[in-house]
Amino acid sequence: MSYRIRYILFFIIDSFIVLSAIFMSYWLLHPTITGYSDKVILISAITLLVSHHIAAYIFHLYNRMWSVASVRELLTISYAVTISIAVASLMQFIVKNDVYIRVMAITWMLHIIMIGGSRFILRVFNDREYLENSSNLKRVLIVGAGQGGTMLAKNLIHAAHPDSVPIVFVDDDIGKLQLKVMNITIEGTTKDIPRLVSKYGINEIIIAIPSLGRVGINSIYKNCIKTNIPVKVMPSIEDVMTGKVAVNEMREVRTEELLGRDEVKLDMVAISRKLTDKVILVTGAGGSIGSEICRQVMNFRPKKIILLGHGENSIYTIHMELQQKSSGTELVPIIADIQDRKRIFEIIERYRPHVIYHAAAHKHVPLMEYNPYEAVKNNILGTKNVAEAANIFNVGNFVMISTDKAVNPPNVMGATKRIAEMIIQNLSTQSNTKYAAVRFGNVLGSRGSVIPLFKKQIAEGGPVTVTHKDMTRYFMTIPEASRLVLQAGTLGENGEIFVLDMGQPVNILDLAQNLIQLSGFTEEEIKIEFTGLRPGEKMYEELLNPEEIQRENIYPKIHIGKANYCSLDDINRLLQNLDNKVETDIKNAVIDLANKKHCMLN
């Protein structure tokens, strides 16, 4: 129906209701009450008719979608009717110096009933049509019967072209149980999800609690995953209200939401003071962490960012990306190898950065077991070159990205990163540069991490390979890891090792099962195979060993450790003798030095 036809139709319907209502009121009272003037009633009716159409125009009663009307629309009708009754009553007073209060009161009530009824009958027909067609729609269970769940249910029911029908709610507020929302019963809590899915033949679960953090989503998802049906999340109320997304634009549960903890929020004001209008150098700028550090740094409008990396393609990619976002920040792409001491010193002397974020490193544990000399050259010698250049040229802050594998390392990669930590701890005792190291667990989505591997294996139809059913790891997101690096640059004073409180470690088998479920498969369709530990791998990772742990946090959810470390003389002796050692001896020498106790305590 066109807008013009609908407008005319409602105009005629309302005209009939307005005129009939006042005469019905007069007729209802006339048999027992006398003294009413037909002339006054007629003038009142005409006044009421005119004033109602004016009020209806003001409150848009003729151009609303009444098929999806709610209580708010009923209140709008009440406002319009009350105004028109008040104007008619005023006219009565002007004509006769009196007001037919009883007649006007009944007229007001009849107006509300008849006009409201004429509108809401469209809502009834719309709901009836929806229910008749619902047998072919996707059956949905909604988690959360609050504002988000109500908005979602209403949107699904009154969609122009519905593809889903809400069947049942669950909510952990016991006081809501057995109540109805949009005529849909709240039949249980999140623990009842598997039972209700089976009872009602549910095809999809939607989590409609937009304010829910990662801990909450992770808890709910544990019940959802038992059902082997798709699980989606409603967008935030803010995004819906600002028009960024529609209510029914659901998204998949993200991997990072299954970590069981919320992201740590950091002090962006302190970071801004450190970076704004400064020269920043990032090594390994083309890598997963390095490139994200560059993106985060860009938010603080530095004067210049030096993008240093060994791979030309990765540096080209991040340089082109940042150029699209640059608003006054000069970007300098540099291809260089951190093992080239002369080149590194020349770069730092030329650009004189205020802050260096050292992300360049070899990080793959099994590969470094096969190539220990390369791990030493890149992770130890490369770090030594950049850190000593920072000291020589008075760089304000030097932040090194380390790893949880540096704790009690049984492998080459972890050992070389622990020795790299020792280098900056030594330099911190004799330099004006403020050195710090930041230890990460595994970073979701980084190159070489387990998540992209699992996703690739699932896309290829499986199997998904897990080393051991009991293996656990700590995880964090790339943006979170990068912000932690920036925060450490504001906190570091004397060779500290900063560690994020990453909650509980994640079981790798559970992670694989969740990813299979998130991808829309079952474990019967995508098999899981156990391959055994690879060279150098640990069953469990640690963030700090017992000797390093300090009770206090220097910043909420950021721990600081004090670690034993060996002198630069010991490290230099190791490096000088490497050329004469076979690879097995290199591995043993590096691991022994990294685990050497009672050297010095920082």
Instruction: State the catalytic residues.
Output: 405
Which is it for strands 442-444 and 164-170: parallel, antiparallel or unpaired? unpaired
* Residue whose pair of structure tokens reads 């997304």 in the numeric block: 245
Which structure tokens are listed for 412?
């080459």
Q: What is 492-555 written as a DSSP string?
A: -SSSEEEEE---SPEEHHHHHHHHHHHTT--TTTS-EEE--PPTT--SS--SS-TTT--SSEEE
Is the separation of the CB atoms in 489 and 462 below 8 Å? no
Name residue 331's beta-bridge partners: 305
Contacts of 505 (CB under 8 A, 6+ apart): 441, 472, 473, 474, 540, 541
Which is it for strands 138-143 and 204-207: parallel, antiparallel or unpaired? parallel
Q: What is the C-alpha R_g of the chain?
A: 35
Q: Give the DSSP H or E segment for 434.
A: strand 434-440
Report the candidate in 378, 342, 374, 376 with the shortest Cα–Cα distance to residue 358.
Answer: 378
Chain centroid to CA 307: how far?
28
Is the separation of the CB atoms in 458 and 516 below 8 Å? yes
Q: Give the DSSP H or E segment for 147.
A: helix 147-157
* Residue whose pair of structure tokens reads 């294996």 in the numeric block: 457
Distances (CA, A) of 392 to 349, 381, 387, 563: 9, 16, 9, 25
According to DSSP, residue 310 is labeled S
Q: How many residues does the chain have?
A: 602
Q: Rounded to a whole number, what is the distance in angstroms from the first to the last CA of the chain?
A: 79
State the Cα–Cα distance between residues 245 and 12, nearest whole angstrom.
38
Is the separation of the CB atoms in 396 and 346 below 8 Å? no
